[in-house]
Amino acid sequence: MAETPESSHKVHDDEDSDGDLKAGGRKGNGRIVVFAILSLLLLAGIITLVLYLVYRPFHPHFSVVSVAIVSLSNSSSPFNTISAAVQPTLVIRNPNSRASIRYDRIEMYVTYRNAPITSPVLLPPLIQDKDTSVAISPVLGGPAVPVSPDIVEGLAVDRSFGVVPLRLIAVGRIRYNPGPFRGRWSSLYVRCNMLVAARTGVSGPVPLLANSDCSVD
């Protein structure tokens, strides 16, 4: 039987409807996949944030509790130099209850009025457990260090008054190991101001005249 225009139109309508349903199904499946991926990314972000807040490490605390002047002298002939050997006792506290700390390539030296007066001393590597404190007492000294005439004159004046402002510097690298994780190495820069009562000719332990807490970056 010949196909009438009306029946032909119905067949085309049915085919179009089937195509629309298939296209709609594909779009619906695509939305589900996108929604699932976004949900997984959101969940991963929440988990990462929670782990960061739980295991986020804090900088260690450094403080100088005592200082001994082994030797300290200045000379202007034939060159302007300072010869110094200083032994600070430094307490390092790890405030993290969930992270141990590893220190490596730590160099320490002493400055006076921003001028180094001791050569850098390399300290041995140190691993510090969670929520613990450790004391170190390195002797920082070496050959005479060349300085400007102003530094030599300033040290002579300060020693005559018995009050010498020194600064302990520590540079190196540090790594936090929070819980089951292992952090990356990062730089460490410590500055400790030490105002000491050191007169000319005096050696041995000297009083600290001010708070000697340190800044840590």
Q: Tens of pLDDT along 23-69?
A: 555 666 778 878 888 888 887 777 666 655 566 789 999 999 999 99
- 19 HSE (CA, 13 A, CB side): 6
Mean pLDDT of the chain: 86
Q: Out of 22-31, 73-82, 101-110, 118-127, which region has the weakest mean confidence (pLDDT)?
A: 22-31
Q: How far apart are CA 120 and CA 173, in angstroms?
A: 15
pLDDT tens string 193-202: 999 998 887 7
Please compute the mean of the pLDDT values over residues 197-215 and round it to a whole number: 88
Query: What is the reported pLDDT for 115?
Result: 95
Three-class DSSP category at 216: strand
Query: What is the reported pLDDT for 64?
Result: 96
**Is pTM, for the whole model, over 0.85?**
no
**What's the gap between Cα 42 and its chain centre?**
29
pLDDT tens string 112-148: 999 999 999 999 999 999 999 999 999 999 899 999 9
Alpha helix stretches (DSSP H) within 5-122 = 5-55
Query: What is the reported pLDDT for 57?
Result: 86
Q: How far apart are CA 139 and CA 69, in angstroms?
A: 9
Share of the chain above pLDDT 90, in %: 60
Cβ pair 115, 151 in contact under 8 A: yes
